[in-house]
A and B are shown apart, each in its own frame.
Chain A
Amino acid sequence: GAGVSQSPSNKVTEKGKDVELRCDPISGHTALYWYRQSLGQGLEFLIYFQGNSAPDKSGLPSDRFSAERTGGSVSTLTIQRTQQEDSAVYLCASSLMRGASYEQYFGPGTRLTVT
């Protein structure tokens, strides 16, 4: 079956512009996560969605970042007024249920470059 897909695979944008990143999770997975990986760093948790519950936004680095998940499936991560420090690979993952013991399946990521 299809895995987690993300689009675009690469995005170059000018500082100050807004960007939208998309994630299509595995069908039937109730949990969805966004991470980012900056150069030389590990994956940094950004936001978590579980079913119809309020998302856990505790990892979002600033109010320029927001995310939504429509219909319990597709998710978009929006970064407003992008800054150069936002340059990173943004990874989406989904899992069947909530909990660390449920394997998180990752998409290939979106490489964002802010010039």
Chain B
Amino acid sequence: DQQVKQNSPSLSVQEGRISILNCDYTNSMFDYFLWYKKYPAEGPTFLISISSIKDKNEDGRFTVFLNKSAKHLSLHIVPSQPGDSAVYFCAASESDYKLSFGAGTTVTVRA
């Protein structure tokens, strides 16, 4: 039973435009959310996180938005760059170390 869902398996965006990745969750006990980025043949690397007490966290070109009432979070990348082409995983935690991951969204940034 998948508690974290990324319903878009892929996203194609032009360089310089905004990429918006979406993630939905079902467990209302989740209180910490993360995005990971993965290149082929490498392990995922941490990108950005947000606590449930916030609704927005920004780090450079990356912003994560959390809507707790809708159990929805999104990652905005602006402007998108070719090096952003990767698989992005949404993950969530219930105040502990266990992370529940979505299936990932493959982002392709077109020149």
Residues in A lying within 8 Å of B, measured CB to CB = 4, 31, 33, 35, 40-45, 48, 50, 56, 59, 91, 93, 95, 98-109
Residue from the list B34, B42, B95, B98 in contact with A48, Cβ < 8 A: B98
A42 touches B43 (CB 8 A): no
Partner of A31, one of B32, B45, B49, B97: B97
CA distance A35 to B98 in the complex (A): 10
Q: Are B44 and A43 in contact (CB under 8 A)?
A: yes
- A33-B97, A45-B98, A104-B46 given; A40·B103 CB < 8 A: yes
Query: What is the CA–CA distance of A59 and B89 in the complex, to the nearest angstrom?
Result: 19
Say if the beta carbon of B96 comes within 8 Å of chain A.
yes
Question: Do A108 and B42 form a contact, CB below 8 Å, given A40-B103, A42-B103?
Answer: yes
- Of the four ranges (under 10, 10 to 19, 20 to 34, 35 or more), the interface on chain B belongs to 20 to 34
Question: How distant is the Cα of A102 from the Cα of B2 in the complex, in angstroms?
Answer: 23
Q: Which residues of A contact B101 (CB under 8 A)?
A: 35, 42-44
Which B residues touch A95, using CB under 8 A?
A: 97
Are A43 and B99 neighbours in the complex by a CB distance under 8 Å? yes
25 A-B residue pairs with Cβ-Cβ distance under 8 Å, sorted by A, are A31-B97, A35-B101, A40-B103, A42-B100, A42-B104, A45-B99, A45-B100, A48-B97, A48-B98, A50-B97, A91-B44, A95-B97, A98-B96, A100-B34, A100-B96, A100-B97, A100-B99, A101-B32, A101-B51, A104-B46, A105-B43, A105-B45, A106-B36, A106-B44, A109-B43
